[in-house]
Amino acid sequence: MTTRLHASDLAAQLADGSVTSVEATQAQLDRIAMVDGDLNAFLHVDAEGALAAAADVDARRAAGETLPTLAGVPIAVKDLINTTGQPTTAGSKILEGWIPPYDATVVARLRAAGLPILGKTNLDEFAMGSSNEHSAYGPARNPWDTGRIPGGSSGGSAAAVAAYEAPLALGTDTGGSIRQPGAMTGIVGVKPTYGGVSRYGVIAMASSLDQVGPMARSVLDAALLHEVIAGHDPRDSTSIDAPVPSVVEAARRGDVAGLRIGIVREFGGEGFQPGVQRRFDEAVAKLAEAGAEIVDVSCPSFQHGIAAYYLVMPSEVSSNLARFDAMRYGLRVTPEGNPSPSAEQVMAATRDAGFGDEVKRRIILGTYALSSGYYDAYYGSAQKVRTLIAQDFSAAFGQVDVLFSPTAPTTAWRLGEKSDDPLAMYLEDVCTIPANLAGVPGISVPIGLADDSGLPVGGQFLAPAQADDRLYNAGAALERLVPAPVLEEVAR
């Protein structure tokens, strides 16, 4: 059954001719038709486009052409990333039905490498959320228990990969939105170094934090996808013009003997679910048995990461989402009972009707944080905390090669459980946010099921900027020491 294969194994079967891309793509489409009614992982499925791309790859292979490694392996793309020929909604009503006139650079690279795009996956509106409950098109659900959230904001991508609807997916991570849903659905998720993957054509939430990255069912698969999408893009002024580290080679190596692994003292204890903490402690013990040197590390400023993040992020949100003004694209709503409204009134009515609660909350918070009289106290101070966090990372990476922590303090919660308490939801990102503030890369790797909830737990490695290969090396080693839990079937 090709839908259960890792992307690397499917690629090998495509290369040796034992399966065609059309067969593999059709199998994924059949799987989506079978389970997505329960999961709502996809907002749009493009069967015709995916099968045409697959047929093209099959024809080129049959003609003897040498193709890229992942050619013919189908993929799902988060609906925050622009795709020609398919809608891009950002999970918002304000962009319902909008079809971008150009491909994001990452999508252009997928197409060039021959990956058929199955469709667009569900997300918290404009990537704002930690549970996927803030999608205007209904929540995606966790395949381990459809009464629970899959994590957010790339929850649709995570659910799709975990439930065998796609072997690979793209997500975006602004405060943990690839790693946290990866952990909660038992798959691998990577936030590359900031600037390592182009953001051109990715709808911006918070530009100094957003990063596109791979989601997959193995560390090697994530590395193979990472090498397809990474690298300099002249269309993105924040794109790093330097060679991409050999992450595939690192994922094949997977050896922690002699590796210095720092355990962040501040990420544990109170607020961490006991079942999560136990799996994490076991993973640390196994890494030590395999020859890693475990070092206790303190990063005191990390505990202020959430406060700094919830100032920097909404400030950038309030600016980035100003472009949704009812003029150029998307929804336009005329205020009721006003036959000749002004542009301003149309804009205000459109943004009220088009944006959901969490988006409004963040835009207004950002408008306040940037307002005259409060700018220095809030935004200015948050930027300085960002510096302190970067300094903590520098000091830590002076002592150790990578840092290791739980990815999230809890396993997946029930739908609606935290909906009325935005602060409680924000606290779920405590372990992931520092990496976004400082721009360093992170990977979440499954480390088993929590004994108190029976749900997947993730372990997170963090590495210095542009040392993404260290994540793949450590992640692949951990994957061998602690095999990922296997989802038998979607649990209703």
- Residue 73 as a binder of another protein (CB under 8 A): the answer is no
Alpha helices in 355-458 (DSSP H): 357-369, 381-399, 422-426, 433-438
CA distance 30 to 45: 11
Of residues 98 and 277, the one with the C-beta less far from another protein: 98
Identified binder of another protein from the candidate list 37, 64, 101, 398, rule CB under 8 A: 101
Closest separation between CB of residue 423 and another protein, Å?
6
> In this chain, which stretch among 15-23, 134-142, 371-379, 395-403 interacts with another protein, using CB under 8 A?
371-379
Of residues 144 and 194, the one with the C-beta less far from another protein: 194
Of residues 18 and 342, the one with the C-beta less far from another protein: 342
- Residue 263 as a binder of another protein (CB under 8 A): the answer is no
Q: Taking the CB of residue 13, how many other CB atoms lie within 10 A of it?
A: 17
- Residue 355 as a binder of another protein (CB under 8 A): the answer is yes
Of residues 341 and 485, the one with the C-beta less far from another protein: 341
- Residue 454 as a binder of another protein (CB under 8 A): the answer is no
- Residue 343 as a binder of another protein (CB under 8 A): the answer is yes
Of residues 194 and 267, the one with the C-beta less far from another protein: 194
| 202 DSSP 8-state letter | B
Nearest to 189 by CA among 175, 169, 207: 169
- Residue 134 as a binder of another protein (CB under 8 A): the answer is no
Within 186-205, the residues that bind another protein by CB under 8 A are: 194-195
Of residues 268 and 368, the one with the C-beta less far from another protein: 368
- Residue 245 as a binder of another protein (CB under 8 A): the answer is no
Identified binder of another protein from the candidate list 16, 328, 398, 489, rule CB under 8 A: 328
Nearest to 123 by CA among 92, 167, 164, 162: 92
Closest separation between CB of residue 234 and another protein, Å?
6
Neighbour-count burial of 234, counting CB atoms closer than 10 A to its CB (0-12 exposed, 13-18 middle, 19+ buried):
exposed
CA distance 180 to 176: 6
| 215 DSSP 8-state letter | E
CA distance 66 to 57: 10
Per-residue mark of binding to another protein, 203-222 (x: CB under 8 A): -----x--------------
| 81 DSSP 8-state letter | B
Q: Give whole-number Cα distances, 41 to 80, 88, 490, in Å.
A: 14, 15, 12
**Can you give the three-state secondary structure of 318-362, one letter per residue?**
HHHHHHCCCCCCCCCCCCCCCCCCCHHHHHHHHHHHHCCHHHHHH
- Residue 231 as a binder of another protein (CB under 8 A): the answer is no
- Residue 390 as a binder of another protein (CB under 8 A): the answer is yes
Report, as residue numbers or ranges, the catalytic residues. Answer: 78, 153, 177
Q: At 257, give phi and psi (nearest 5°).
A: -60, 125
Within 420-439, the residues that bind another protein by CB under 8 A are: 422-423, 426, 437-439
Identified binder of another protein from the candidate list 342, 395, 399, 492, rule CB under 8 A: 342
Compute how many residues bind another protein; rule: CB under 8 A. 71
Closest separation between CB of residue 299 and another protein, Å?
13
